[in-house]
Amino acid sequence: MCTMEHRRQHIILTTYPAQGHINPSLKLADKLVDLGMQVTFTTSISARRFIPKTYSKKSLCFKLYSDGYDQGIQNPADAVDFYNKLKSYGAKCVEEIIVSSAQQGNPVTCLVYTIFYHWVAEVARGFDLPSMLYWIQPAAVFAIYYYYFNGYKDAFDKIDDPSWSIKLPGLPLLNKPDLPSFIIPSSQDVYTKALASLKQHFDALSSDPMPKVLINSFEDLEHHALKSIDKLILLAVGPVIQSAFLDGKHDSFDNSRKQIDWLNSKGDSSVIYVSFGTMINLPKSEMEEIAKALLKSGRPFLWIVKKNKDEKEEDKLSCMDKLEEQGLIVPWCSQVEVLSHKALGCFVTHCGWNSTLETLASGVPVVAYPKWTDQGTIAKMIQDVWKTGVRVNGSEQGNVDGDEIYQCLETVMGRGEKAEELRRNAEKWKDLAREAVKHGGTSYKHLKGFVEEM
Ligand code: UDP
């Protein structure tokens, strides 16, 4: 049981059990606590490994529930069952918190939830409580889904036509690879389920008389997308990102010193950092192409390659010896700390939204290597709107070429005009991101306004 000081406002913040959802949710919880809220943070037990051990805040209470997959989902075939259980067990947990908090004289006053947890709004309605979606992807992606579910669906019918493109309010001209992958027709049950869940979010918002959404983005970055929907108020409160120095270490991460010492030994802006986040495991063929590009560049690199306990001899990269001479390959790092190191020159990223906000806030330019979900849209924004990076073609299908990746690395790391422009833009966004969250900045004001309205 949580013992904590009772505060006037008590929020339940509930989130999907993945690192990319937990990180921005924990940081939002921190900010709400700092603004005087009491927060009960709830997710499933499998997410415990994503919550730093050192995480203890005076008014942040954790309630972890079992969803039947306490070790995380091991078999992709279980994805739909996992998703259904998250909902049924999660709803029960949230209901219990509401009832027991009221009995203890500490009633819940608002529920905040992230993507795929639209059922929290139903639970809230059942108790006559307000609820709010906390959207942890870009506003641009939110707007694409909004228009897809609100009047524009037919315009996506010819998506497979190579000349197809779409212009939606507040967004640049989009081609098929720029769309969130769940919109692209697929035979995969998980995609269908994800799209159905997203639709429920938008249905819930359209039945809300005063719909507002908290968004992990900031005004300067996504002004047009944030203002593109008349019927909704999108409150940009970001970048809500993990701070390595405050949040401590990931459980499985025990060698940060080694990486920082290694970075300390490198020249300013000389290192390529390569990471594909927490969910993506690239096939060996793609890893070989990336390895080829890194070796050809001759530059030092820090490459995050997740441990595979079933790895066989034939899974090993062919040029491992040479790679280890030139770079450092580790299974995990404290990314925010790495990105803020002066040795960093470029981030080869899958364009997860947290990684993207972290690299924007650190002023590090990017080679965009999107794979799925919101990443194609983010890569589009990076290359054509924010202009902080270049995109590897064909990465979604794994159809990549080492020489092209090498060219992208040279464009970003080289001495040419393009590299200078990317670095200049990256610096600009770094300053604007930091401005937004400062006391009095736009994101700070939006979050404070949300709290005061409660
Ligand atoms: N992360 C990290 N160290 C790693 C890999 C990832 O700290 O070695 C963190 C990263 O900083 C980010 C999160 O994990 O906050 C990944 O979220 P993102 O949205 O970028 O990608 P996802 O893993 O959800 O695809």
Q: What is the pLDDT of residues 376-422, one digit of tens each?
A: 999 999 999 999 999 999 999 999 999 999 999 999 999 999 999 99
Q: Is the dihedral of CA 374, 376, 378, 381 positive or negative?
A: negative
**Mean pLDDT of the region 213-232:** 97
Q: Is the dihedral of CA 180, 184, 190, 194 positive or negative?
A: positive
Query: Could you count the other beta carbons within 10 Å of the beta carbon of residue 133?
Result: 25
231 C-alpha to ligand 1 centroid (Å): 32
333 C-alpha to ligand 1 centroid (Å): 9
110 C-alpha to ligand 1 centroid (Å): 28
Ligand 1 pocket, mutate which of 22, 254, 278, 307 (most atoms under 8 A from CB)? 278
Q: Is the pLDDT of residue 263 over 90?
A: yes
Does residue 169 share a domain with residue 287?
Answer: no
**Mean pLDDT of the region 173-179:** 97
Using N-to-C axis directions, what is the helix angle for 417-437 and 402-413, rounded to 10°? 70
**Alpha carbon nearest to ligand 1 atom 13, residue:** 20
401: Cβ contacts below 8 Å, ≥ 6 apart: 289, 394
Residue span of the structural domain in which 382 resides = 249-433
In a domain, 1, yes or no: no
Does residue 194 share a domain with residue 71?
Answer: yes
Does residue 156 share a domain with residue 86?
Answer: yes
**Alpha carbon nearest to ligand 1 atom 24, residue:** 20
How far is it, in rounded angstroms, from Cα 138 to Cα 141?
Answer: 5
108 C-alpha to ligand 1 centroid (Å): 31
How far is it, in rounded angstroms, from Cα 234 to Cα 224?
Answer: 11
Q: Which CATH number does the domain housing residue 169 bear? A: 3.40.50.2000
Which residue from 334, 326, 332, 349 is spatially nearest to 266, judged by alpha carbons? 326
Query: Could you count the other beta carbons within 10 Å of the beta carbon of residue 89?
Result: 17
Does residue 448 share a domain with residue 420?
Answer: no
Q: Note the helical H segments in 109-254.
A: 119-126, 139-147, 189-206, 219-226, 244-247
Ligand 1 atom closest to residue 375's alpha carbon, by position in its atom list: 25
Pocket of ligand 1 (CB under 6 A): 18-20, 23, 242, 275, 277-279, 304, 332-336, 352-355, 358
Q: Are 437 and 324 in contact (CB under 8 A)?
A: no
In a domain, 330, yes or no: yes
Least confident of 112-126, 248-262, 394-408: 248-262
In a domain, 5, yes or no: no
What is the percent of the chain where pLDDT is above 70? Answer: 94
Task: State the Rg of the chain over Cα.
Answer: 22
Does residue 341 share a domain with residue 229?
Answer: no
Q: Quick one: pLDDT at residue 250?
A: 42
How far is it, in rounded angstroms, from Cα 97 to Cα 62?
Answer: 11
In a domain, 194, yes or no: yes
How far is it, in rounded angstroms, from Cα 40 to Cα 29?
Answer: 9
Does residue 150 share a domain with residue 63?
Answer: yes
**Alpha carbon nearest to ligand 1 atom 8, residue:** 332
**Alpha carbon nearest to ligand 1 atom 2, residue:** 335
Does residue 112 share a domain with residue 33?
Answer: yes
pLDDT interval class at 246 (50, 70, 90): very low
Specify the 3-state DSSP secondary structure of 51. coil
Q: Is the pLDDT of residue 309 over 80?
A: no
pLDDT interval class at 3 (50, 70, 90): low
How far is it, in rounded angstroms, from Cα 71 to Cα 327?
Answer: 32
What is the number of domains present in the chain?
2
- Catalytic residue numbers read 21
Look up the pTM and report it: 0.94
- Distances from the Cα of 205 to the Cα of 9, 88, 307, 449, angstroms: 23, 21, 41, 20
